[in-house]
Amino acid sequence: MTEPRPNGDGRSGRWRRPGRLLRDLNQLALLLVIAAGAALLLVPSSDDGLTGLPELQVGDVSPRTIKSPQAFVIDDPDATEQIRKQRVANLLPTYDLHTGMGSQTKVRLEAAFGVVAEKPSLEEEVAPEDRSNAFMQAIGVGLEPEVMAPLFKAEGDELRDAAIMVAQTVYEARIVEDKALILLLAPRGVEVRLLDPDGQVLREESVYDASAALGLDQARARIDELAAEQLKRFPSDQRRAIATLLKRSLKPNLVANEPESVRRRVEAVSSVKARSIQVSPGETVLRAGEKVTKQHLSILSGIDRELRAQSRMQGAAGGALLVVVLIVFGYRFASRSYRPGRPSHRDLAFLAAAYLLTLCLLWVGYKGTLYLAEVFPILSAEAFRYLLPVAAGALVVRIVAGAEAAIALTVVTAVTAGWMMDQSLPYGVYALAGGLAAGSVERARPRAALFSAMFRAMFAQIGVVLAIGLLGSSFTGEDALEEVLTAAGSALGAGLFASLLLPVVEVLFGYTTSFKLTDLANLNHPLLRELLVEAPGTYHHSIWVGTLAEAGARAIGANTLLAMVGGYYHDIGKLKAPRAFEENDPAALLAANPADAARELRAHVAEGLERAAQHRLGAPVLEIIAQHHGTSLVRGPFARAIESFGHVERAEFLYGGPRPISKEAALVMLADVVETATQPLAAEPGLTRGDIEEVVHRVINEVVEEGQLGDCELTLREVGLLVACFTRELEERLIRRVKPPTLSSLPALTGPQVVRAPGGEPN
């Protein structure tokens, strides 16, 4: 539950930080789509974009001399690509030289020979295989017993030091895994990074002849040579053991670093700036009779591109910029002034699609008016323009997304329409009046709202065309009749277009419009009829929840139709096992284990979602079903579990959520708990309004204290309004409702009398 926070203008809302629209990537993408659409469709019709350049191919002969009409800076992608390829070709593959390999081998040899030097005490005996395993673990290679046996005979550190000297001598060379491969892959040499034992780069050097490196086989042969030369004083079996040990532990110290090579190639490509060709005014690009080369075509296409951008897109870009400015500031104003919540990406995508569709409709109408005026001369081109259904977009958006969104769209559409119709201010006013009239229709039943919007738009557009005509100097009765009829036809066409488009919008964007909600509110809906037959108690409970939610929505300005429909269908999951619920069977689950009873009660949410999806009730209704219990406690079974067992896991008795997010879902939750808590009051004698209000206030406070309303936008003030509203509705139901008279309650009739119900109307 949120508290209202003041904006700069004193209103409450959630949007605070300026520039938030442009910082949101999804909204920015939509804005770019709209700008692109506006730029493409607002091209001035007087400019056909011809540059006069002939169609040429490589190898053709130029039919005439072509000169540059002005100065151009033309991108040369071929030259740029060639330079990039050359940069990459000049790079040498990167290799890492690990200079600490000799030191690391020394450490391992010292640790291994430390195992040899250890002398077990008299009290403890060490098995030979244990010493062998410890030796191999220290050196990091596996050795056969016959290889290790001579090493264990060595006395002192002399053999160890000789082995270290041989290993360090070998690692002074640069050793690679496969010398033939490095010569094949890097014939021009390699870039070597010298790394210290910690992996830090000491320096780099370019090695243009990699043949000096040793392959693993050559390095092993070098070990044999060194062992023969420097270990002469040791027995032959110890020389062979040291040589075998060092050859098996040998690893390449010059290793290819492919990620670094790739990074350097990418960096080399990105460092190349795009090359361009400077063309001076009047410079000859191609002479008559000269063969066309690829560079000629590149220059000619660049000139053609520049000329087209200058002649065709400049005006369109200005119109698109104007539209973007209107969208940005209209969005900010609407978000701060009207809507407390932020539109979803689906809403923004829908509004963008509605605007672009309206823009396409206006563009097609603009292009077709001259043709229609020629083919059907009964109407002028101006009259045909007035026939376009300019209010259709606002009408669709009003029904789907609300009046604020419709008005915001209308303003942008009106400016666009006036700009497209040869910068006509009167036509922009005409589109603005029709859209405002259609988009500002009061909340009502959808079909009534549709007809009301059509007639509002009709009268507004007729008034505008009459005013525009009167402002002219040659306005006649014939012109008035023509334009009045076309303005009326525009409004009727907008209504027809909207009625055809609404089902498509529901399918494409997943909206549940008021038309669909009206169908769901029909108590003859198959799902409600099934609920009435199979679970009459749940049915009556649901109808009352819907009634309370509708009244609460009216009190706080939420969507009354959605709240009512959500209340009707919130418990349809109980159809799977209706007698498991108290309203259908007072003894339901009393004999069951409390945990099993809680599990049975919680399951009706998932069952309800499944049934709602099968019957395609729509996403808003599914959200209400999923959220109408939030993460609240299944109180009855929990209380019985505490009474029976003393201590139980509370998590087993909690609904899975989520908590209500929308106001309508919160209304259904509150109406549900209030209706359930006040049902027993109907049997209490002497029930007063205060008794009802006390129960309503208590159960709503419990919901608030549990934090179930923490994710929705209900304020404390609105909660107070709901307490009063629910109390009033329940007072009417439980105390003031009219009961039909019985024979015993009728007075003795001695003559013609009129029996009146407590409300005062005759029965």
Q: Is the pLDDT score of 672 beyond 90?
A: yes
Cα–Cα dist 142/133, whole Å: 9
Cα–Cα dist 624/664, whole Å: 7
The pLDDT tens digits of the residues spanning 456-493 come to 888 888 888 888 888 876 566 676 788 888 888 888 88
Q: Is the pTM of this model over 0.75?
A: no
Q: Which residue has the higher pLDDT, 3 or 614?
A: 614
**Angle (deg, nearest 10), helices 425-439 and 477-509:** 50
In DSSP terms, 6 is beta-bridged to 12
Q: Which residue has the higher pLDDT, 124 or 73?
A: 73
> Under a CB-based contact definition with an 8 Å cutoff, are residues 567 and 534 in contact?
no
- How many residues are there in the chain? 763
Q: Which residue has the higher pLDDT, 203 or 351?
A: 203
Report the pLDDT averaged over residues 200-218: 87
Q: Is the pLDDT score of 100 beyond 90?
A: no
**Strand 214-215 and strand 175-176: pairing?**
parallel
Alpha helices by DSSP H, 570-631 = 594-614, 619-627
| pLDDT attached to residue 7 | 40
Taking only Cα atoms into account, the Rg of the chain, rounded to an integer number of angstroms, comes to: 43
| pLDDT attached to residue 229 | 86
> Architecture of domain 516-734 in CATH?
Orthogonal Bundle (1.10)
* Number of helices and strands in the chain (H, E): 29, 10
| pLDDT attached to residue 45 | 43
Give the DSSP H/E element, type plus range, for residue 229.
Answer: helix 216-230
Collapsing DSSP to helix, strand or coil, 591 comes out as coil
Report the pLDDT averaged over residues 548-575: 91
| pLDDT attached to residue 697 | 92
Report the pLDDT averaged over residues 98-127: 74
> Under a CB-based contact definition with an 8 Å cutoff, are residues 284 and 65 in contact?
yes
| Weakest-pLDDT range from 10-24, 183-197, 637-651, 685-699 | 10-24
Distance of CA 195 to the CA centre of its chain: 45
| pLDDT attached to residue 543 | 93
* pLDDT, averaged across the chain: 78
Strands of the sheet containing 254-256, edge to edge, are 201-207, 190-195, 94-98, 254-256
Domain regions of the chain by residue span:
94-252, 343-511, 516-734
In 386-542, where do the E strands start and end? none
Cα–Cα dist 448/360, whole Å: 28
Distance of CA 52 to the CA centre of its chain: 46
In DSSP terms, 75 is beta-bridged to 276
